[in-house]
Amino acid sequence: MKKQIFLYDTTLRDGAQTEGISLSLEDKLKIAVRLDHFGIHYIEGGWPGSNPKDLAFFTEVRKLSLKHAKIAAFGSTRRAHQKVAEDANIQALLEAKTKTVTIFGKSWDLHVTDVFRTSLKENLSMIHDSVAYLKDKKLEVIYDAEHFFDGFKNNPEYAVSTCVEAAKAGADVIVLCDTNGGSLNGLVAEAMDALKRALAAPLGIHCHNDMNLAVVNSVTAVERGAIQVQGTINGYGERCGNADLTSVAPILQVKLGYHAVPAAKLCELTELSRYVAEVCNMPLRANQPFVGTSAFAHKGGVHIDAMAKNLKTYEHCAPETLGNQRKFLVSELSGKTNILLKTKQFNVDLEKDAHTKEILSKIRELENEGYQFEAAEASFELVVRRLLGKAKKFFEVKKAAVRSENIGDASPVSVAEVKILAGGREYYKVAEGDGPVNALDRALREALRESHPLVDQIHLTDYKVRVVNSQAGTAAKVRVFIEFCDEEKTWTTVGVNENIIEASWQALIDAIEYKLYKG
């Protein structure tokens, strides 16, 4: 292992500036606990001088028993021509009562003259006074050199002098910020080298992702000597986001040999990514590197054939290292190897080559009709078991009907009737729902409850509709995906029909049958 790299997470501040994210105080505390558990070194809790919620966070977080992370309060240097001891933002940092504070100052002369509307000399005093004052209070001070790379490009001598001033005042770490996210890799390397020549203080990096370079620029900075990387989980942040720590951490640790987080914790990376996304109420990108559900998904027949011989052929690292998992997708592009590997995952060994060909032919036939099994593996397993005669018939549907009442009303009601045969008995149930699918789901489960009480363990968590052949207009087929979960797992099924209710019913039946089969 090379040297220690300190991860500084700003999901609770920079990440919370993402369009669509609004974290409550409780949300912020939950995320802080999970970040600490993972091994993040610094957690930036917010700007105590900006709003009451952030100030409340610093009060409540002190009640938590964090074992690893340091909590940092964020703020700015003192205002121009004002005494630092009388500056409200500086005093708010002290009120947060954290042992670490992060303050930002301007490195770009354009911002000094056009935004702060003060002199370059006064800006240097603002930086020095603020850092020195906070160091006098026995605090660890991280100095964020905001807009450093734009400043370095425009006036390198002055940009460097702002960091030198912070170092003279005693800053523990000088962090170079690509605040606009518009810097290229070469500029980052050049600026890092210039700073190392100018001062001996430890350096850090804080990159925004406006050109999709935040991760690579962060890694470049580490290779040029940075010991701290600031970023967010899943790359959340204003505009195009910040450097994604779920990529930065494994690149540094797995690829480059640095020590970023405890080795035993790296396998929890995927879980952390999904937990933070859930709390932030943000969808996860399936193709997100390292932690996405498609990051280690293989679909092409040639690829999967190679993977069956050597996993290194189409994977740059092992998914289990990151808590992710490998997936072999089944589609019309599949070859026999896909089918063999996929069926082995649910403990079905295809002894006869004829069975493999039969399954492959059936999958291609169904996908030609509009089905898609890549995201509906539960339906795929049921197709295989039915073809092999290994599917158990738990119930038989005798009747299913649904009607909507008060259409056009502010709160229309759907009513479903379901009659089934299960365990030699007939059950008939009627249920209301917020929509036709919800009503059918309730009626079916009511009918099954006595013979198969397992249905009470499951919950519908997602429902998606896609048009298959849009050129057919209102007669187009639709593809419906339904996701269910219980306490242990999540599964997805698919249905296709010109009628959206029928397509939904197919997926619903598959979802219930899958649960009953798995127990």
* Amino acid present at 132: A
Q: Residue 385: inside a domain, yes or no? A: no
Examine the domain organization and report whether 115 and 222 are in the same domain: yes
- At 428, give phi and psi (nearest 5°): -130, 125
Distance from C-alpha of 10 to C-alpha of 205, rounded to nearest angstrom: 13
Examine the domain organization and report whether 112 and 207 are in the same domain: yes
Token pair for residue 331?
């589609």
Cα three-residue angle 297-299-303, rounded to 5 degrees: 95
pTM over 0.75, yes/no: no
Examine the domain organization and report whether 215 and 110 are in the same domain: yes
Token pair for residue 431?
């249920």
Token pair for residue 400?
């299913």
| Last residue of one domain, picked from the residues 419, 436, 451 | 451
The predicted pLDDT at position 352 comes to 56
Task: List alpha helices for 109-267, DSSP H.
Answer: 109-114, 120-136, 148-154, 156-168, 185-198, 214-223, 245-250
Q: Residue 380: inside a domain, yes or no? A: no
Q: Is residue 54 within 8 Å of residue 62, measured between CB atoms?
A: no
Q: Is residue 440 within 8 Å of residue 446, measured between CB atoms?
A: no
Residue carrying structure tokens 């450097």: 243
Where are any strands of DSSP class E within 361-488? 396-405, 413-422, 425-433, 459-467, 478-485
The predicted pLDDT at position 334 comes to 55
Q: Residue 77: inside a domain, yes or no? A: yes
Residues in the chain: 519
The predicted pLDDT at position 404 comes to 77
Residues 6+ away with beta carbon under 8 Å from 86: none
Examine the domain organization and report whether 109 and 27 are in the same domain: yes
Q: What is the number of structural domains in the chain?
A: 3
* Amino acid present at 147: H
Q: Residue 222: inside a domain, yes or no? A: yes
pLDDT tens digits, the chain, 519 residues: what are they? 579 999 999 999 999 999 999 999 999 999 999 999 999 999 999 999 778 888 899 999 999 999 999 999 999 999 999 999 999 999 999 999 999 999 999 999 999 999 999 999 999 999 999 999 999 999 999 999 999 999 999 999 999 999 999 999 999 999 999 999 999 999 999 999 999 999 999 999 999 999 999 999 999 999 999 999 999 999 999 999 999 999 999 999 999 999 999 989 999 999 999 899 989 988 888 899 999 988 987 776 677 678 777 888 888 999 999 998 887 766 555 566 666 666 676 666 666 556 777 777 787 788 788 887 777 888 888 888 888 888 788 999 999 999 876 666 667 788 999 999 998 899 999 999 888 888 999 999 999 999 999 988 888 888 888 887 655 444 578 899 999 888 888 889 999 998 999 999 999 999 999 999 887
Examine the domain organization and report whether 365 and 399 are in the same domain: no
* Amino acid present at 92: A
* Amino acid present at 191: A
CATH number at residue 248: 3.20.20.70
Q: Tell me how far apart the terminal alpha carbons of the chain are, to the nearest angstrom.
A: 45
- At 238, give phi and psi (nearest 5°): -60, 150
Examine the domain organization and report whether 365 and 410 are in the same domain: no
Examine the domain organization and report whether 301 and 417 are in the same domain: no
Distance from C-alpha of 324 to C-alpha of 316, rounded to nearest angstrom: 13
H or E element at residue 187: helix 185-198
| Last residue of one domain, picked from the residues 416, 432, 451 | 451
Q: Residue 165: inside a domain, yes or no? A: yes
Q: Residue 507: inside a domain, yes or no? A: no
Distance from C-alpha of 461 to C-alpha of 459, rounded to nearest angstrom: 6
CATH number at residue 399: 3.30.160.740
- At 246, give phi and psi (nearest 5°): -75, -10
Q: Residue 321: inside a domain, yes or no? A: yes
Examine the domain organization and report whether 231 and 330 are in the same domain: no
Distance from C-alpha of 151 to C-alpha of 158, rounded to nearest angstrom: 8
Examine the domain organization and report whether 197 and 316 are in the same domain: no
Examine the domain organization and report whether 26 and 166 are in the same domain: yes
Token pair for residue 223?
């290779």
The predicted pLDDT at position 301 comes to 67
| Last residue of one domain, picked from the residues 321, 354, 369 | 369
Examine the domain organization and report whether 421 and 365 are in the same domain: no
Token pair for residue 200?
């001996």
Residue carrying structure tokens 């470049």: 220
Examine the domain organization and report whether 130 and 216 are in the same domain: yes
Q: Residue 228: inside a domain, yes or no? A: yes
Domain that holds residue 399: 395-451
